[in-house]
């Protein structure tokens, strides 16, 4: 079954004419029967076969890619998993999808997510939750849960997600995939339905670190349509693959927070491989990640209340009575914390604590090349777990929130697998701003020298 191949394998086999696009598309089509159970894709691209065959000679060779449903895709329905946008068909492409298409990628379909990307479970989707393909009693995480599940279930070769605070890395951890969250401003936000504009970062969700580097090469770089996109130079990120990590200084953070006990003993032994490869590993004291929850909650709600103000049902979509519970909560809390008399207490305070996190990371990166933590404080939660708590996501994402509010890049790699539940733990590798290559190098070394990536294992057989 060709759908179980990695992106790098597919590209190599297409190039060598070992396989054809038609065979690949046929196997992906067969794998899509899982959609009925898992609810991964909301909309499929009906013109996929035609789009693909025209691109055989390109860099991405017409390979289909799963795209999170908050990326505007020209002519393909885009809902952000909210019924407010039930019939919205964008007239233009996001910069990310435009670039992927220009490189020869084809949109396979649009993946389920938490509505407006508000959440860490996909349970707030107004089109029903997605199930975790590794164990359907459990959640895939979110908000890019559909993209991570599509890759984990081999229903897609690779996918695109977006992260505001954990939304690429946490579902990747829960589904056992690789998820790369770039530096804020490294990948354009143009045409991505905005959530929190000061932290939104699109990025790849893939089977291997190599695949993430391949896709990242195509989407990274300055975009004049996004004022916050950076002009700092991009690199060939695949050049970081297979490089030695000898002499690298690694700081391990967030190991002393309460509630980690269950998984700490599974995670810590995994750090040994870095020492075997010649890196120096030590525990580092970082600012309490608990404070990032408050910062993120205030900043995110405030920016949501502003960004979702544009949904009036006039130019597109339905009116504001169609918002789900979570969106209502967030819009209204943001409105409150920005209102007269409260903006200093909440909004300004949060932005000051954000400065402290930035200063803390600056100090840490004077001592360490990369920082490592768990991505999520545990395994994927059972279905229904997010219901009844207004703070579910923020607590689940506590370990990735500090790097999100400060705009740092991070990558999730699977670092443990429980054979009883078939669920994985994820490792979060963080680097200084614009140093994605460094974390890709470390993540790739870990993946290749451990047993936790199922696609790498299949390759060895």
Partner 1 sequence: MKTQVPVSHIAQLANIPITKDEELKLEAAFEETLAVVEKLQSVNVSGVEPTFQVTGLENVTREDIIDEQRMFTQEQALANARAQHDGFFVVPQVISQD
Please indicate whether residue 249 is annotated as part of the active site: no
Q: Which residues contact 272 (CB under 8 A, 6 or more apart)?
A: none
Our CB check for partner 1 shows the closer of 181 and 354 to be 354
Please indicate whether residue 68 is annotated as part of the active site: yes
Q: Is 110 in the site for partner 1 (CB under 8 A)?
A: no
Q: Is 406 in the site for partner 1 (CB under 8 A)?
A: yes
Question: Catalytic residue among 81, 125, 167, 229, which?
Answer: 167
Of the candidate residues 30, 50, 246, 352, the single one contacting partner 1 (CB under 8 A): 352
Of the candidate residues 71, 88, 216, 267, the single one contacting partner 1 (CB under 8 A): 88
Of the candidate residues 335, 360, 378, 385, the single one contacting partner 1 (CB under 8 A): 335
Candidate ranges 54-62, 109-117, 181-189, 450-458; the one touching partner 1 (CB under 8 A): 181-189
Q: Given its phi and psi angles, is residue 300 left (phi above 0), alpha (psi -120 to 50 degrees) or beta?
A: alpha
Q: Is 295 in the site for partner 1 (CB under 8 A)?
A: yes
Our CB check for partner 1 shows the closer of 259 and 309 to be 309
Candidate ranges 127-135, 164-172, 242-250, 305-313; the one touching partner 1 (CB under 8 A): 305-313
Which of 183, 163, 295 is closest to 231 using CA atoms? 183
Q: Is 390 in the site for partner 1 (CB under 8 A)?
A: yes
Candidate ranges 115-123, 204-212, 219-227, 374-382; the one touching partner 1 (CB under 8 A): 219-227
Of the candidate residues 105, 119, 133, 407, the single one contacting partner 1 (CB under 8 A): 407
**Residues tagged active-site:** 68, 143, 167
Binding positions for partner 1, rule: CB under 8 A? 87-89, 91-92, 183-185, 198-199, 224-225, 227-228, 230, 290-291, 293-295, 297-298, 305, 309, 313-318, 320-321, 323, 325, 328-329, 331-333, 335-337, 339, 346, 348-356, 358, 389-391, 394, 405-407, 433
């Amino acid at each position: 079954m060709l759908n179980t191949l990695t992106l790098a394998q597919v590209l190599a086999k297409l190039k060598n004419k070992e396989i054809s696009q038609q065979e690949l598309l046929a196997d992906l089509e067969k794998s899509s029967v899982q959609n009925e159970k898992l609810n991964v894709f909301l909309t499929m691209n009906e013109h996929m076969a035609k789009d693909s065959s025209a691109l055989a000679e390109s860099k991405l060779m017409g390979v289909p890619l799963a795209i999170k449903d908050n990326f505007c895709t020209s002519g393909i329905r885009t809902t952000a998993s909210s019924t407010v946008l039930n019939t919205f068909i964008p007239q233009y492409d996001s910069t990310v999808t435009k670039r992927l298409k220009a490189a020869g990628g084809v949109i396979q379909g649009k993946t389920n997510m938490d509505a407006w990307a508000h959440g860490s479970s996909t349970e707030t989707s107004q089109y029903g939750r997605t199930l975790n393909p590794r164990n359907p009693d459990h959640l895939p995480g979110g908000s890019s849960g559909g993209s991570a599940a599509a890759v984990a279930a081999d229903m897609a070769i690779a996918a695109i997600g977006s992260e505001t605070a954990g939304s690429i890395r946490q579902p990747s951890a829960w589904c056992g995939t690789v998820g790369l969250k770039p530096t804020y401003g490294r990948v354009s936000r143009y045409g991505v339905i905005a959530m929190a504009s000061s932290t939104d970062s699109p990025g790849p969700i893939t089977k291997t670190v190599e695949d993430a580097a391949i896709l990242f090469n195509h989407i990274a770089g300055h975009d004049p349509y996004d004022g916050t996109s950076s002009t700092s130079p991009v690199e060939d990120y695949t050049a970081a693959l297979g490089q030695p990590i000898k002499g690298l200084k690694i700081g391990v953070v967030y190991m002393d927070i309460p509630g980690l006990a269950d998984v700490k003993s599974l995670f810590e032994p995994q750090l040994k491989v870095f020492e075997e490869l010649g890196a120096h590993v030590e525990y580092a004291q970082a600012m309490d990640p608990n404070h990032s929850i408050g910062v993120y909650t205030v900043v995110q709600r405030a920016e949501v209340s502003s960004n979702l103000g544009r949904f009036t049902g006039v130019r597109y979509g339905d009116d504001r009575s169609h918002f789900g519970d979570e969106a209502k909560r967030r819009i209204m809390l943001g409105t409150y914390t920005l209102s007269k008399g409260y903006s200093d207490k909440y909004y300004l305070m949060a932005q000051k604590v954000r400065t402290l996190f930035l200063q803390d990371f600056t100090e840490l990166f004077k001592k360490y090349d990369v920082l490592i933590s768990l991505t999520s404080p545990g395994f994927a939660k059972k279905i229904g777990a997010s219901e009844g708590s207004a703070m579910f996501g923020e607590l689940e994402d506590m370990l990735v929130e500090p790097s999100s509010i400060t705009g740092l890049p991070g990558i999730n790699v699977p670092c443990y697998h429980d054979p009883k539940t078939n669920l994985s733990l994820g490792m979060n590798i963080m680097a200084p701003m614009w140093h994605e290559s460094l974390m890709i190098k470390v993540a790739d070394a870990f993946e290749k020298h451990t047993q936790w990536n199922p696609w790498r294992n299949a390759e060895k057989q």
